[in-house]
Amino acid sequence: MFTQSEYALDRLRQALAGCAGGSGRLALVTGGLATGKTELLRAFAGQAAQRGALVLTATGSRAEHTLRGGLLDQLMRDSRLPSRARLAAVELTSTSDGSDELGTTAAAALHELGATLVELSRRQPIVVNVDDIQFADALSLHVLSYLRRRISSARVLMVLAQWARSRPCAALVHAEVTRRPELRIVLQRLTETQVPAEHYRLSGGNPLLVAALAEDPTGGAAYRRAVLDCLQRWEPHLMDVAHGLAIMGRHATPELIGRLTGLGAEEAEEAIDILTVAGLVHDGRLRHPLIAATVADKLKSAADVRLRAAELLYEQGADWMDIARLLVAAGTAPDRWAVDVLRHAAEEALREDDTDLAARSLAVTLAACGDERDRAPDQAALARVEWRDNPAVAARHLTSLREALRAGGLPARDAATVITQSLWHGHLDGIVELINQVRKRSGPGDAQAIAEIELAYEGSYGRLDGRPPTADNAWARAATLNDVWTYGVDTGTAAGAELILERRLGETDIHAVANALLVLEYAGSPDQAVKWCDQLLHEAATRGGTTWLAVLTGVRADMALRRGDVTGARERADAALGLLPKQSWGVLLGLPLSVLVRAATVQNDLEVPREVLGRVVPESMYRSVFGMRYLYARGLYHHARGRNIAALGDLEQCGAVLTGLGRDVPGLVPWRTGLASVQLSLGRPAAARTLLEHQLAHPGPVDSTRVRGATLRLLAAVSPADERPAILRQAAELSHESGDRLELAVALSEASVAFREVGAMREARSLARRAAREAKACGINGSAASSAGDADQAEDESGGVTTLSTAERRVATLAALGHSNRDIGRRLFVTVSTVEQHLTRVYRKLKVRSRNDLPAELAQVT
């Protein structure tokens, strides 16, 4: 029991004590729904019986309120009552005709019953305990009214409980029974200070709900049962009103609820007041979403009610999205107004990033539209919505949408959706014809749609033939962004990229966004590219666009790798791949896969690429630039494992496809550098030199400094020993200038070896230290770092090293720097077998077991 119930019980005990002294009285207990009236009466009945009172109990029932004498019959069931009292009650019930006035016989029976009870009270106090008096039948009320007038000097205590309500009862007899009680007890809801804050938010202090929450603090099944119990124990229309409040939400008013339920505004208002007193409603709304959900679930099959509610809100000019939620819940749009509402709501929902409502609204719209020409724009809109979270789901619409596009049934915006999503998935058959068809039909207002189509195609599949002369508008100029791969940067490159990147995600196709970021990154504005990419990543994470987030994370991973942040690149690429199912990536899967494979290969973690490369990828990916990134990364992986023939095949195919796409751009995919390295490992220095000299002469329109740095580093390997230091120093300077820390670390390491070979030991030690720092910063093999860290101790610890021959020192030095046997053989132009023989002698002379035990000071030995 709660504190107020204990207080009420004490007052009833006092009333009983007064009654036992010969002072009869009426105690009226009132309270809202589930405030503890029944529990109070039950507890008092038990205590009164213990104190020697004869307790006559009855409970009113909505189902029996028309049953003549129903309540009276309950009161007379106690076997301790005199038989004359029970006989009088039977006579009264049988002779009453149900009218307000009792006949002579019935009146006599009533008098006999009253007199018997008053006489009985002289021997024993009597408690007449009636719960839910508001449901009492008319005859029983006559009896209670008669007793009420005659108990002032009798030892009779009448305890009546009724619901608190805003309007008084219309029944005259009921009013007479409950008028001017000697004791009035009003049970209130618990206050905020008596209940934990979260429980108060859920219950409003309603004791029944509070008790349920004490049993299940999470607001689970016990709480939901208590909510329904509150609503079902009173008039039937309370549940209907609560349901109306649940589905009308913030638009609920007594007038609208009255129209929805058929009760009328006045009765609806009273029901809302009742629910407010009970704590279930606050400020005209259901107190908590869990209450609304419980009520809605109870009546979830009431589609007609939701449809009627939607119609009422439409008549009121309510928000499209609020009306749409009701139509979606009803699962139908029977009239044109409903279809229009759903279309408007889908657009608004998408702007507010509520993709679930947008998709469900469009699905109901599609189900309501029988004409294919009307369906196509809605289907395109649904494809856009679904694509934001899962492109594979959106792909189910493409076949029918392409047919609609061929038939000329789609505006440019929807045509762009169909074409860009087809390009995403590599559906290239007939795509150029469709693009040209859209171009011919486009008008001045379609510039953005045309630009998005061209950017999507050229960003993935190379130069698109038949481009019309560039119109004099910003979008037409932005559409030429991919010309940077052919002609290099011009004055409009940054402006075109920023036109795309300044817009909210979703207002521009993600192909265009990725294009703009990659152009800035590769074409001379890497700091701007990172700034924009991080800003858009934050937006994507905040707004919840899974596909946006995946693509942008993949782009950011590529940026990280280009800066030498190998660990960060690997983590981002792995995160990007985890955001979308593999079938949803389309040809862009090549971007994060290539970064992940290259990063793991650089870190010499060759098991990860093996697992990654074992995944099935779309065949169409191999016709795209992103597929060639993947093929390039795979070739480097094979090379690292010594599978040089497989590497040769991948890199040669990569070059051939890129040339065919018009994207043979060393700054984008430096396949010649990789191929030259393979040729060196195969003992073909002349072939390697040819590739490198060609690339050095044609470094491409973008990122030429980076390209020249990497090319010169490899060119040093096929140059005379006395020329290598200068070539490698220049390579390192170019790599540093381009911001390629990964290439810089390798160039410095190789320069250190080159300087040592010509006897410039001080320079060699300095370069080794720099190489170690760069390697550590990049997160790659730390052997170079350890050799630099020990450089100053080299002369003190080199005793055993001086016993090595010149050839043995060269092999041991490269091994200590982390180079594989194949790499050492390539650099020194000897076979792998010769390398192994030298290392065997080195291990014996230095008394070590493996290359991991080689002294780090080898690179600095004079």
CA geometry: angle 167, 171, 176, nearest 5 deg = 100
pLDDT exceeds 90 at position 720:
yes
Distance (Å, rounded) from C-alpha 737 to C-alpha 706? 8
Q: What is the tens place of the pLDDT at every residue in 25-79?
A: 999 999 888 888 999 999 999 999 999 999 999 999 877 888 999 999 999 999 9
pLDDT exceeds 50 at position 373:
yes
User: What local confidence, expressed as pLDDT, does residue 175 receive?
Assistant: 66
pLDDT exceeds 80 at position 275:
yes
User: Which amino acid would we find at residue 600?
Assistant: A
For the segment 688-693, the average pLDDT, to the nearest whole number, is 96
User: Which amino acid would we find at residue 744?
Assistant: L
Tokens of 472: 């004099």
Distance (Å, rounded) from C-alpha 295 to C-alpha 275? 13
Q: Under a CB-based contact definition with an 8 Å cutoff, are residues 359 and 381 in contact?
A: no
Q: What is the tens place of the pLDDT at every residue in 468-527?
A: 665 678 998 899 999 999 999 988 899 999 999 999 999 999 999 999 999 999 998 999
> Containing H/E element for 459?
helix 447-461
Residue 790 binned pLDDT confidence (cut-offs 50, 70, 90): very low
Residue 793 binned pLDDT confidence (cut-offs 50, 70, 90): very low
pLDDT exceeds 80 at position 371:
no
User: What local confidence, expressed as pLDDT, does residue 492 receive?
Assistant: 86
Please name which of 494, 482, 554 lies closest in space to residue 701, comparing C-alpha atoms: 482
Per DSSP, helices labelled H in 151-236 are 172-178, 197-203, 207-215, 221-232
Distance (Å, rounded) from C-alpha 569 to C-alpha 548? 18
Q: Under a CB-based contact definition with an 8 Å cutoff, are residues 650 and 677 in contact?
A: no
Tokens of 500: 């795309």
Distance (Å, rounded) from C-alpha 757 to C-alpha 806? 9
Spell out the residues 6+ positions from residue 49 whose beta carbon is closer than 8 angstroms to its own. Answer: 55
pLDDT exceeds 50 at position 824:
yes
Q: Under a CB-based contact definition with an 8 Å cutoff, are residues 142 and 102 in contact?
A: yes
SS3 call for 158: strand
User: Using CA atoms in the order 600, 604, 607, 609, what is the torsion angle rounded to 10 degrees?
Assistant: 30
User: What local confidence, expressed as pLDDT, does residue 820 receive?
Assistant: 86
Tokens of 755: 């300087």
User: What local confidence, expressed as pLDDT, does residue 49 receive?
Assistant: 96
Burial class (CB in 10 A: 0-12, 13-18, 19+), 180: exposed
Number of neighbours of residue 483 by Cβ within 10 angstroms: 20
Q: What is the tens place of the pLDDT at every residue in 727-746?
A: 999 999 999 999 999 999 99
More confident residue, 671 or 833: 671
In Å, how far are 325, 349, 763, 797 from 356, measured between CA atoms? 11, 8, 64, 69
| Burial call 761-789: b when 16+ CB within 10 Å, e when fewer | bebbbbbbbbbbbbbbbbbbbebbbbbbb
For the segment 541-548, the average pLDDT, to the nearest whole number, is 95
Distance (Å, rounded) from C-alpha 495 to C-alpha 666? 24
For the segment 844-859, the average pLDDT, to the nearest whole number, is 74
Tokens of 368: 């309501």
For the segment 340-344, the average pLDDT, to the nearest whole number, is 96
Residue 856 binned pLDDT confidence (cut-offs 50, 70, 90): low
SS3 call for 69: coil
Residue 221 binned pLDDT confidence (cut-offs 50, 70, 90): very high
Tokens of 562: 């280009």
User: What local confidence, expressed as pLDDT, does residue 173 receive?
Assistant: 55
> Containing H/E element for 39?
helix 37-50
User: What local confidence, expressed as pLDDT, does residue 639 receive?
Assistant: 94
| Distance, C-alpha 143 to centroid of its chain | 64
Q: What is the tens place of the pLDDT at every residue in 438-470?
A: 999 988 899 999 999 999 999 999 999 877 665
Q: Under a CB-based contact definition with an 8 Å cutoff, are residues 775 and 749 in contact?
A: yes
Spell out the residues 6+ positions from residue 18 whose beta carbon is closer than 8 angstroms to its own. Answer: 25
pLDDT exceeds 90 at position 589:
yes
For the segment 827-848, the average pLDDT, to the nearest whole number, is 82
Number of neighbours of residue 479 by Cβ within 10 angstroms: 26
Q: What is the tens place of the pLDDT at every residue in 166-220?
A: 555 544 556 678 888 999 999 988 889 889 999 999 999 999 999 999 998 989 9
pLDDT exceeds 70 at position 792:
no
User: Which amino acid would we find at residue 834?
Assistant: T
For the segment 754-779, the average pLDDT, to the nearest whole number, is 90
- Max Cα separation, the chain? 138
> Containing H/E element for 131?
strand 126-131
Please name which of 839, 842, 811, 808 lies closest in space to residue 824, comparing C-alpha atoms: 811
pLDDT exceeds 70 at position 105:
yes
Q: What is the tens place of the pLDDT at every residue in 646-671?
A: 999 999 999 999 999 999 999 999 99
First to last CA, the chain: 93
Q: What are the φ and ψ backbone dihedral angles of 481, each rounded to 5 degrees? A: -55, -40
SS3 call for 424: helix
| Mean pLDDT over each residue of the chain, to the nearest integer | 90
User: What local confidence, expressed as pLDDT, does residue 830 receive?
Assistant: 76
Number of neighbours of residue 820 by Cβ within 10 angstroms: 18
Please name which of 227, 191, 279, 275 lies closest in space to residue 3, comparing C-alpha atoms: 191
Spell out the residues 6+ positions from residue 322 whose beta carbon is closer than 8 angstroms to its own. Answer: 249, 250, 251, 313
Distance (Å, rounded) from C-alpha 795 to C-alpha 429? 68
Distance (Å, rounded) from C-alpha 340 to C-alpha 10? 63
Give the range among 177-191, 340-354, 619-633, 691-705 with minimum mean pLDDT.
177-191
pLDDT exceeds 90 at position 791:
no
Per DSSP, helices labelled H in 98-137 are 104-121
Spell out the residues 6+ positions from residue 701 whose beta carbon is closer than 8 angstroms to its own. Answer: 484, 485, 486, 487, 488, 489, 665, 667
Please name which of 576, 640, 569, 634 lies closest in space to residue 599, comparing C-alpha atoms: 569
User: What local confidence, expressed as pLDDT, does residue 98 receive?
Assistant: 67
For the segment 680-709, the average pLDDT, to the nearest whole number, is 94
How many Cα atoms are found within 13 Å in the side-chain-facing hemisphere of 658? 26
The pLDDT > 70 percentage for the chain reads 94
Give the range among 215-219, 349-353, 673-677 with minimum mean pLDDT.
215-219
Distance (Å, rounded) from C-alpha 464 to C-alpha 459? 10
In Å, how far are 231, 249, 251, 290, 827 from 284, measured between CA atoms? 16, 9, 10, 16, 82
Residue 623: DSSP 8-state: G
User: What local confidence, expressed as pLDDT, does residue 780 receive?
Assistant: 85
